[in-house]
């Protein structure tokens, strides 16, 4: 069992979900085993960026990007991003384009504002 922590971005997105969706997403992460992390198979993926190992878990309409860290005797899953599938931000993270967390969040919010502006103009 892992302790789960959230970045500011992932917590904001999680809070937008219905309670049942929140619980299902967190439960999927909490039930991951070291064997699954060592040899990921769909819906779990693994990639490396800037010397760190990141994981991507497909969870319905969302993609959860996280790191696994060990502190003392505690294994932690640090959720970095909770993103809607098939968005520009998800594509950027998935294709490993170099982008800081701040740029990623800015891009995410500006992308959605842009889409909203398109619907208001029609």
pTM of the full structure:
0.72
pLDDT of residue 21: 86
The pLDDT tens digits for 61-89 are 889 999 998 877 788 899 998 888 887 77
Instruction: Find, among 49, 41, 57, the residue nearest to 2 by Cα.
Output: 57
pLDDT for 106 equals 56
Write out the two tokens for 26: 């967190």
pLDDT of residue 98: 55
8-state DSSP, 5? E
Residues of the chain falling short of pLDDT 70:
96-122
Q: Is 17 helix (H, G, I), strand (E, B) or coil?
A: coil
Kindly list the distances between the CA atom of residue 39 and the CA atoms of 5, 17, 69, 93, 111, in Å, as whole numbers in the listed order.
22, 29, 17, 21, 34
pLDDT for 66: 94
Please give the CATH superfamily to which domain 3-120 belongs.
Answer: RelE-like (3.30.2310.20)
């Amino acid at each position: 069992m892992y302790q789960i922590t959230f970045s500011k971005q992932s917590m904001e997105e999680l809070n937008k979900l219905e309670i049942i969706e929140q619980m299902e997403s967190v439960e999927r992460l909490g039930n991951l085993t070291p064997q699954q992390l060592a040899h990921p198979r769909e819906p779990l993926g693994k990639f490396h960026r800037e010397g760190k190992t990141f994981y991507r878990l497909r969870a319905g309409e969302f993609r959860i990007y996280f790191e696994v860290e060990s502190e003392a005797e505690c294994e932690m899953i640090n959720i970095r991003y909770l993103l809607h599938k098939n968005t520009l931000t998800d594509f950027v993270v998935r294709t490993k384009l170099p982008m800081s967390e701040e740029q990623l969040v800015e891009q995410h919010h500006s992308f959605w504002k842009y889409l909203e502006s398109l619907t208001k103009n029609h």
